[in-house]
Structure 1
């Protein structure tokens, strides 16, 4: 299988992975139309796998993980395997790497562990080292955006909502459509209070409606919500749309997310305390639309309180956003 065939097979497996299953059904790798005994799979987090039968554990140290590229010992049913893994965002590079592994194991008859270790080490210069862990502040903000994607935009529009998530693109608002924008702010404060960091952040373009989502979180080691759980939930919701998953993973990559965070003590867990959505209108606290920074002042930050503002009904918000699909 060439790189294009490997990528197509992973995308098909992703679409066919049963809900709730950790690993998709597997597809046998062919090499010049011969079955190799190697298998492809996709896991619940969207990561790509190449599994090769082995006689036992490796007799040398495995290479360190690099930005999601991992080599592990695993089992597939009753078979002992080596498990080569990569995030979906790197599928093109991973497919080329796997092509070398398949050729060396099946075409040249080399030992699977020796092949995988050697080739992974030789490719490590092409993979960026592990990223710095995401800060608390980054995780809190991204949790808010992914929560809104999961509970509002995906139910309303399906997998197309992924393309309206503009937070990773550093746009003015976190979700952008032709008719409705949404700005999302998450906080661990006990009140719906948020810091605004752009003069134009609470201004909608002409002819468009702006919603403001306020997410209250409580940080807790026993929390059921984290970036990892939200990412998995979104991937499960869009698992039948390979292009949407690719777009989603690419956006996460742009936000400094790495699958290494799943195993990191820096991953923060939360309880979701409250979610409220507001209309940004004349009553909403914001700077005047014609406000200009004084000469020499380059930026401004200010804090708003949403106490006593009317809250939108979630069902009405869903209905309004759903109507975008038919307008």
Structure 2
């Protein structure tokens, strides 16, 4: 490491280093030792400092990582910042951390103090809510099953839920609305008055999936696992599948944020949505509610635990334990 340039760099000096297109190592402080590595080829900055205290948890930060490295001189923390398009902002984050380190604070404390000032650079990552996570998981489990019978092209084309269609799957002979719950009972949230409204001349089935948290069970699965498994089965519809995932808020770069693992609590079940099914639909609201045009948003929960599940036709059958014949 070079033993110079211990003062804060100016923006002009930093751009000179990036423009040189060679790796540069600078010593920023003596106590504790702080070394800055500038790598223009990958547009990254690294701060090396002797490991002290716990390693900071930066998994929720999109452009920052921290690793622990063993070298001849001992154990070091390496704080790496993606500086693409934000050279001086990235350096300023590191400089602020170094200031805290030289003031006697540990790295995990210095990082926590610096996050608030550099929120835009760090671009905190966001994951789907638990409700959306298990909802997507349920749809992917059914998609995985439908691929077995129909092949990837027909299966991906049938998965229309991410396109904000009324129902999650529109298959050749049947529609399906997929609902997934962590409850011990089959209690499902219905978000609109159209979700359980059958389309004209098309049968509609509610597919009920119950999950439970896997704990230490070795056969548990998470959302990242199922996304990866389905993706390996898709060759011709990769763009369509990726587009569907993006539409519902999935980002590949956030896969490690989905650490929860689940098991099937019970075999999935399907319920035919006919006139006897307890659904609040627009047609039913129009028939009993005065001035129904003033009712613009309907959301409710339905408990189908006591209902007798049916045997849906075609590609839905194997998923709920029936026959596709």
The TM-score with structure 2 as length reference comes to 0.55
Contact residue 68 and residue 259 of structure 1 kept, 8 A: no
Give the number of the structure whose alpha-carbon radius of gyration is greater.
2
Matched, 1:300 2:298: yes
Partner of 1:244: 237
Matched, 1:226 2:238: no
Matched, 1:164 2:158: yes
Contact residue 64 and residue 122 of structure 2 kept, 8 A: no
Secondary structure of 1:310's counterpart equals coil
Query: How far apart are the structure 1 equivalents of 2:315 and 2:209?
Result: 17
Query: How far apart are the structure 1 equivalents of 2:84 and 2:300?
Result: 50
Contact residue 209 and residue 269 of structure 2 kept, 8 A: yes
Contact residue 131 and residue 256 of structure 1 kept, 8 A: no
Q: Aligned pair in 2 of structure 1 residues 158, 197: CA closer, same or farther (>3 Å)?
A: same
Matched, 1:215 2:203: no
The number of residue pairs the alignment matches comes to 212
Secondary structure of 1:198's counterpart equals coil
Query: How far apart are the structure 1 equivalents of 2:238 and 2:223?
Result: 16
**Which ranges in structure 1 are unaligned for 5 or more consecutive residues?**
1-57, 74-116, 322-327
**Which ranges in structure 2 are unaligned for 5 or more consecutive residues?**
1-42, 48-57, 68-79, 88-120, 319-325
Alignment counterpart, residue 261 of structure 1, candidates 244, 254, 278: 254
Q: Which has the higher contact order (CA 8 A, sep 6+)?
A: 1
Q: RMSD value over aligned CA atoms?
A: 3.7
Q: Aligned pair in 2 of structure 1 residues 232, 70: CA closer, same or farther (>3 Å)?
A: farther
Query: How far apart are the structure 2 equivalents of 1:285 and 1:150?
Result: 29
Q: Aligned pair in 2 of structure 1 residues 123, 302: CA closer, same or farther (>3 Å)?
A: same
Query: How far apart are the structure 1 equivalents of 2:84 and 2:125?
Result: 20
Structure 1 stretches of 4+ moved >6 Å: 64-71
The TM-score with structure 1 as length reference comes to 0.55
Matched, 1:149 2:147: no
- C-alpha displacement of 1:199: 0.9
Alignment counterpart, residue 274 of structure 2, candidates 281, 292, 295: 281
Query: How far apart are the structure 1 equivalents of 2:201 and 2:61?
Result: 42
Contact residue 211 and residue 278 of structure 1 kept, 8 A: yes
Partner of 1:318: 315
Q: Aligned pair in 2 of structure 1 residues 317, 309: CA closer, same or farther (>3 Å)?
A: farther
Contact residue 139 and residue 268 of structure 1 kept, 8 A: no
Partner of 2:100: none
Query: How far apart are the structure 2 equivalents of 1:284 and 1:258?
Result: 36
- C-alpha displacement of 1:291: 2.3
Query: How far apart are the structure 2 equivalents of 1:261 and 1:180?
Result: 34
